[in-house]
Structure 1
Amino acid sequence: MTVEKTEIDTLVVGAGQAGVAMSEHLTKLGVPHLVLERNRIAERWRTERWDSLVANGPAWHDRFPGLEFDDLDPDAFAPKERIAAYFEAYARKFNAPIRTGVAVKSVTRNTDRPGFTIETSEGVILANRVVAATGPFQHPAIPPIAPQGEALHQIHSSAYRNPDQLPAGAVLVVGAGSSGVQIADELQRAGKQVYLSVGPHDRPPRAYRNRDFCWWLGVLGEWDAEAMKPGTEHVTIAVSGARGGHTVDFRKLAAQGINLVGRTGTFANGKVTFEQDLAENIRNGDANYLALLDAADAYIARNGLALPAEPQARKLLPDPECMTNPTLELDLVEAGITSIIWATGFSVDYGWLRVDAFDNNGKPRHKRGVSSEPGVYFVGLPWLSRRGSTFIWGVWHDAKHIADHIATQRKYAAYKDADQRDADKVKDIRAAKKESIA
């Protein structure tokens, strides 16, 4: 291990999409900085996603402004490996000062000088500012209801790769956001019997009237919403770019052969219970879907756009048996369930950031990424400044705001009063005289 001591103005922790965006903006503003990444650039896209994953937004949308996916159709959905390669290429564009394979162990505020001391696996770094760009997907979150013991094969969605890694038998997928829906669909198409536990969700159309839903959320101002609506804190979004992109329809999934159940309740005595909320959750998702169609139609009429009508988009299949006669309990053995995949999201871990920047629940205190702790910043978190903050393009815009804040603080720190300026002039004159004599 190389032990060294480095001084830098700004240290960025993490070289995923947030860290790369942060580095670009700091570079443009002339801020000396260093980006540390414990693995490789965009590592989570490489090794913490399933094999067939593609972006949930089209290539024209899910990118930074400064580089296109020149080898993809703009309306295509980039595979995960291509996304990782994209961020590597983007970092090369401006020669980003990224050091990979270096883990940050701790960040503490200095008591005898400005800034922070950062302990890393490669030595000590002193920095005036620290940007936490580790994002929201740090630790897989499996709820405490998960059954104990070795009878079931249980993994988080971040550990799922493909159907072949699971043992024979049926699978219970808990969570029906984008990850849970796509994994359940893939498993069922591979011949697995699948039970999908469906909670509250938003269900936008993949596309409507010849425009992708990403475009609709943009022109309708939804991406720029600054706060989530009350009561939607635990609502996921069910959308997919798989197989060329399609609208998620839970009734179609049921017709396809997936067994839909409500939210997972408890595990006990070899049985699992489900809430009686499946029909309500699906109908609320329908309402969200139809509301977006209404808003899109109104926008088209208001702006006189010549986009083709799509009446079929409003036709819903009849309620399947699982909605009208929901399953509330399953005997795991009788149902043949041998695996559970927990598509239940992630939690953050800032144990390494030992500063007064968190509330009593461990959540960062900040405004648009500028922490309550001077000199500390966050980027890549959900709703950092808007709904789009965790998306690739949203991270880029948030990083620009934070970089501008850092550049402004540097200007104030560089201020010199009249006495300092006079002293500097005297030093310069003396130095010039010494050079002339020499």
Structure 2
Amino acid sequence: MSNSNVMTQTGSNQAPHYTVIVVGGGQAGLSISFYLKEAGIDHLVIEKHTVTHTWRSQRWDAFCLVTPNWQCALPGYPYRGDDPHGFMKKDEIIAYLDGFIEMVDAPVVDHTEVRRVRRQHDGSYVVSTSNVEFTADHVVVASGGYHTPIVPRMAERLPHGIVQLQSSHYRSPQSLPEGAVLVVGSGQSGAQIAEDLQIAGRKVYLAVGEAPRCARFYRGRDVVDWLADMGYYEMPVDQHPLREGVRDNTNHYVTGRDGGRDIDLRRFALEGMELYGRLDDLRDGVLYFAPNLTSNLESADDTYNRINASIDAFIDREGIDAPPGVPYEPVWKPEGERTSLDLAASGITSIIWCIGFTPDFSWIDAPVFNGRGYPAHVRGVTSQAGLYFIGLPWLHTWGSGRFSGIARDAAHVVDAIRAAIDVSRTASASLAA
């Protein structure tokens, strides 16, 4: 549905009403629409930009999936290409999403920002947007959990001549000015962007955080394949050793680039990348780092070896014939902890902040959030009738915020909506009788 079509419905004083309004037109919102259409439930998807906008505008040029293509399993639209164990590049991901968009054919109003959601006394919701106001019996929040880029206040004190980008705005080495680049953060984005810059011949300084890492291939197979066979991706959050705490975990760094490989920061150092610990401060043109590079590298390697050891145990338990595996041994170690770096002397002309995002659900007026502003829910169903969430990390399983698990989550949320509609109809029929 286009904006013009929606606007024509507002000629009366009564706001357009839908049984369900879905906020967000990414893969999560479109997956909800898929099941709502299948159930014959009228609904509207409201998107601030255009559908699947994030994949098109917030990924760098060399971006590719870090999980194999076979895990792309959007509802009714699994990966059907000829490289299930490969890793789609950015243009291939967009083509895959375009096919999904066409197949779902969701009723969407785009370029419309939802500014407030509030519940009325009768239990319905008012959805106020930048264009018009709607009402709905149910609201599904599918806007994800990565809203506000994290940039430390010290960034305000950097010299004006230094280009600063958040990871979602990085595109390519060629888009940056000549000179060295400081990448802050070593999660999935930071590690891959640092590699992208180093491959292009740029001098790279990397402030290493506490992100874990994992192998790409181990004992003859992709680690993802092993973990799938081990049932890891089927594990619900309430059975994970960390329980809901797993939602705060940083993703393991690895890459699907060039067919897939490990990301080993120690090897980057051998090739000329300068590694430091966590960036803590900036004073008088000097950057200061925590003396934790060694511990961060060791912690990442421990996770790497621990995952591989769990695969070893699975292979032994199941009697699987597989090539031998050996623990990772460091190929480089810091000679000491360097805790300062002079900006001018280093030749740094660009800084890329890769330290994540914070959620912003301030526009939802509902008593369902914890002290950190994160919604409390069970598989996306909140304690407030008619309000649901979808597409969040570990909403139910590891794949909840990814292409692999969104179909199951969306089906569950729509089942909950259908059940609520049935209860409401039964209650109305009883009153009428």
Deviations, residues 274-294 of structure 1 (Å, cap 9, x unaligned): 111111111111111111111
Shift of 1:225: 4.9
Decide whether aligned partners of structure 1 residues 190 and 131 sit closer, same or farther in structure 2, where only a CA change above 3 A counts. same
Decide whether aligned partners of structure 1 residues 95 and 302 sit closer, same or farther in structure 2, where only a CA change above 3 A counts. same
What are the residue-to-residue correspondences of 1:36-435 with 2, within 5 Å?
36-64=46-74, 66-111=76-121, 113-149=122-158, 150-223=160-233, 224-226=235-237, 227=240, 229=242, 233=248, 235-311=250-326, 314-320=327-333, 323-416=334-427, 420=431, 422=433
Equivalents in 2 of 1:63, 1:78: separation in Å?
13
8 Å Cα contact 1:175/1:344 also seen in 2: yes
Decide whether aligned partners of structure 1 residues 12 and 342 sit closer, same or farther in structure 2, where only a CA change above 3 A counts. same
Equivalents in 2 of 1:212, 1:260: separation in Å?
28
Shift of 1:20: 1.3
8 Å Cα contact 1:176/1:343 also seen in 2: yes
Shift of 1:386: 2.6
Q: Structure 2 stretches of 5 or more lacking a match?
A: none
Shift of 1:123: 1.9
Equivalents in 2 of 1:236, 1:70: separation in Å?
27
**Normalising by structure 2, what TM-score?**
0.90
8 Å Cα contact 2:145/2:359 also seen in 1: yes
Identity of counterpart residues, as a percentage? 35
8 Å Cα contact 2:20/2:140 also seen in 1: yes
Deviations, residues 333-368 of structure 1 (Å, cap 9, x unaligned): 111111110001112222322232323332212222
Decide whether aligned partners of structure 1 residues 237 and 195 sit closer, same or farther in structure 2, where only a CA change above 3 A counts. same
Shift of 1:97: 2.2
8 Å Cα contact 1:173/1:196 also seen in 2: yes
Decide whether aligned partners of structure 1 residues 397 and 143 sit closer, same or farther in structure 2, where only a CA change above 3 A counts. farther
8 Å Cα contact 1:199/1:262 also seen in 2: yes
8 Å Cα contact 2:270/2:332 also seen in 1: no
8 Å Cα contact 1:200/1:236 also seen in 2: no
Aligned to 2:37: 27
Shift of 1:416: 4.3
Equivalents in 1 of 2:76, 2:28: separation in Å?
15
Deviations, residues 250-278 of structure 1 (Å, cap 9, x unaligned): 21111121111111111111011111111
8 Å Cα contact 2:216/2:261 also seen in 1: yes
**Normalising by structure 1, what TM-score?**
0.89
Shift of 1:8: 0.8
- The one-letter amino acid paired with 1:144 is R
Decide whether aligned partners of structure 1 residues 372 and 210 sit closer, same or farther in structure 2, where only a CA change above 3 A counts. same
What RMSD, in angstroms, separates the aligned Cα atoms of the two structures? 2.1
Equivalents in 1 of 2:175, 2:323: separation in Å?
44
Shift of 1:74: 0.8
Decide whether aligned partners of structure 1 residues 228 and 85 sit closer, same or farther in structure 2, where only a CA change above 3 A counts. farther
- The one-letter amino acid paired with 1:19 is G
- The one-letter amino acid paired with 2:372 is N
Equivalents in 2 of 1:68, 1:18: separation in Å?
15
- The one-letter amino acid paired with 1:7 is H
Decide whether aligned partners of structure 1 residues 142 and 420 sit closer, same or farther in structure 2, where only a CA change above 3 A counts. same
Aligned to 2:28: 18
Deviations, residues 82-103 of structure 1 (Å, cap 9, x unaligned): 2233223223324322332332
Equivalents in 1 of 2:89, 2:131: separation in Å?
33
Equivalents in 1 of 2:428, 2:86: separation in Å?
57
Decide whether aligned partners of structure 1 residues 328 and 407 sit closer, same or farther in structure 2, where only a CA change above 3 A counts. same
Equivalents in 2 of 1:379, 1:392: separation in Å?
12
Equivalents in 1 of 2:95, 2:428: separation in Å?
48
8 Å Cα contact 2:34/2:75 also seen in 1: no
* Secondary structure in structure 2 of the residue aligned to 1:22: helix
* Secondary structure in structure 1 of the residue aligned to 2:77: coil
8 Å Cα contact 1:65/1:393 also seen in 2: no
Shift of 1:65: 5.3
8 Å Cα contact 2:72/2:78 also seen in 1: no
- Number of residue pairs matched? 417
8 Å Cα contact 1:381/1:390 also seen in 2: yes
Q: Structure 1 stretches of 5 or more lacking a match?
A: 423-438
8 Å Cα contact 2:33/2:43 also seen in 1: yes
Bigger Cα Rg: 1
- The one-letter amino acid paired with 1:292 is I
8 Å Cα contact 1:228/1:387 also seen in 2: no
Higher mean C-alpha displacement, 394-403 vs 339-348: 394-403
Equivalents in 2 of 1:326, 1:144: separation in Å?
24
* Secondary structure in structure 1 of the residue aligned to 2:297: helix
* Secondary structure in structure 2 of the residue aligned to 1:405: helix
8 Å Cα contact 1:15/1:40 also seen in 2: yes
